[in-house]
Amino acid sequence: MNHPVPKTNVISMSLGVGLATGLYGISFGALSSAAGLSIWQTQVLSLVMFSGGSQFALVGVLAGSGVAGVVPAIISAWLLGIRNGFYALRLNGVLGVPRALKVIAAQLTIDESNAVSLAQAEPKNSKLGFWLTGISVFVFWNLFTLLGAVLGANIGDPSQWGLDAAAAAAFLGLLWPSLKNLRSNLTAFLAVLFTLSMIPFVPNGIPVIVAAPLAVLVIYALAKTSFGSRLKPGANE
């Protein structure tokens, strides 16, 4: 029997994820500055684009190609942002957002807000998790982006601070409770396997986008075999 989750738990989870993700904004600000973007250009990217993977892809390509890489940079950022559209398909039915707030909800539809929302069993907590996580990530991400852009090269290599690991650890903490049975565990294992196998051959960010649907397709195919009975929802929980 599932017991109601206190609102304070959702709040602490949302703020924790927001802070962990926001800290990684220092890396983006510093890397963007190193790529030749001004402080205001860097800040506009975080305010308007507001998608960490897309932003890193954009400045990464620009850093390596300069002005000649503008078009590839935009395409890379767009490809990495497609996933947010899929999140919206799920969240639209969960949140029941009034028309007046749809633009704001769309801006806050990111990996973190979707993950925290998905981790909640109760609809009211799912809504709270989405809004609070989205807002906290937006605030912290932009604040730390500005800090990283101002400090620039003075902070050295941001990856040495372990900020990227903090964001990844926050995601793992959200996903771990969902790994309850053979189906979810096998899906996660295949996604990781496919991602790692593609990393040496494709641009950053693309492996995760491709690996997830591949893993789902493999599970779907296995479900049609004699092994399928062990993959049914509720089995082996």
Nearest to 38 by CA among 13, 15, 59: 59
| Rounded Cα–Cα distance for residues 129 and 137 (Å) | 12
More confident residue, 43 or 235: 43
| Residue type at position 90 | R
More confident residue, 169 or 59: 59
pLDDT in tens, 113-146: 888 888 888 888 889 999 999 999 999 999 999 9
What global pTM score does this model have? 0.69
Place of tokens 């964001």: 167
- Positive or negative: CA dihedral 46, 49, 53, 56: negative
What confidence score (pLDDT) does residue 204 get?
62
What confidence score (pLDDT) does residue 139 get?
96
Phi, psi (degrees; rounded to nearest 5) at 28: -65, -45
Nearest to 110 by CA among 145, 129, 134: 134
More confident residue, 156 or 44: 44
| Rounded Cα–Cα distance for residues 190 and 99 (Å) | 39
- The mean of the pLDDT values for the chain is 79
Q: Classify residue 160 by its DSSP letter.
A: G
| Rounded Cα–Cα distance for residues 223 and 219 (Å) | 6
pLDDT in tens, 45-82: 999 988 887 888 788 777 666 666 677 667 767 776 77
Secondary structure of residue 149 in the 3-state scheme: helix
| Rounded Cα–Cα distance for residues 160 and 97 (Å) | 40
For 187, other C-beta atoms within 10 Å of its C-beta total: 19
Structural tokens at position 118: 């998905």
For residue 185, the number of C-alpha atoms closer than 13 Å in the C-beta half-sphere is 9
What confidence score (pLDDT) does residue 162 get?
59
What confidence score (pLDDT) does residue 1 get?
47
Q: Residue 18 in contact with residue 112, Cβ under 8 Å?
A: yes
DSSP code per residue over 40-95: HHHHHIIIII--HHHHHHHHHHHHHHGGGGHHHHHHHHHHHHHHHHHHHHHHHHHH
